[in-house]
Amino acid sequence: MKSGELGKTFQDGEIIIHQNDVGECMFVIQSGQVEIFQNKNKREVRLATLKSGDFFGEMAIFDHEVRSASVRALGEVRVLTVDKKNFLKRVHEDPSLAYHIVQTMSQRIRHLDAQNTRIKAADRRNWDKRPEVYNGRN
Partner 1 sequence: MHKNAGSDFLVHKLTATERKSVRSKTLGNGSRVAVIGGGPAGSFFSYFLLDLAQRIDMHIQVEIYEPRDFFTPGPKGCNMCGGIISESLVQTLAAEGIPLPSGVIQRGIDSYLLHTDTGSVRIETPLNEKRIGAVHRGAGPKDSEGTKWGGFDGYLQILAIEKGAQLHQTRVEDVTFSDGYPTLRSSNGQTKSYDLLAITSGVNTNTLKIFQNLNIGYDPPKTTRTLIREYYLGQKNVDDFIGTSMHVFLLDIPRIKFAALIPKEDYVTLCLLGDDLDETTLQIFLNCPQVRQCFPPDFDLQNSCKCLPRMVTKGSSQPYADRMIFIGDCGVSRLYKDGIGAAYRCAKAAATACIFEGISKDDFKQYYWPFCKSMHRDNKFGKLVFAVTHLLRKRLFTRRAVTRMVLSEQNKEGKHRIMSTVLWDMFTGSASYKDIFLLTLQPIFLISFFQHIISALWNGTIYNNSMR
**Would you tell me which residues interact with partner 1 (CB under 8 A)?**
1-8, 28, 30, 52-53, 55, 80-83, 86-87, 90, 93-94, 96-101
Q: How far is the CB of 37 from partner 1 (least distance, A)?
A: 23
Q: Which is nearer to partner 1, 74 or 88 (CB)?
A: 88
What does the alpha-carbon distance between residue 72 and residue 11 come to, in Å, rounded to a whole number? 9
CB 58, min distance to partner 1, A: 9
Burial (CB count <10 Å: 0-12, 13-18, 19+), residue 35 = middle
Residue 73's DSSP bridge partners are: 34
Q: Which is nearer to partner 1, 47 or 88 (CB)?
A: 88
Question: Which is closer to partner 1, CB of 95 or CB of 130?
Answer: 95
CB closer to partner 1, 68 vs 81: 81
CB 29 → partner 1: shortest distance, Å? Answer: 10
Tell me the chain's radius of gyration from C-alpha atoms. 19
For 42, the 3-state DSSP assignment is: coil
Give the Cα separation of 81 and 60 in Å (integer).
Answer: 12
Quote the DSSP letter at residue 59.
H
Residue 136 C-beta: closest distance to partner 1, Å: 54
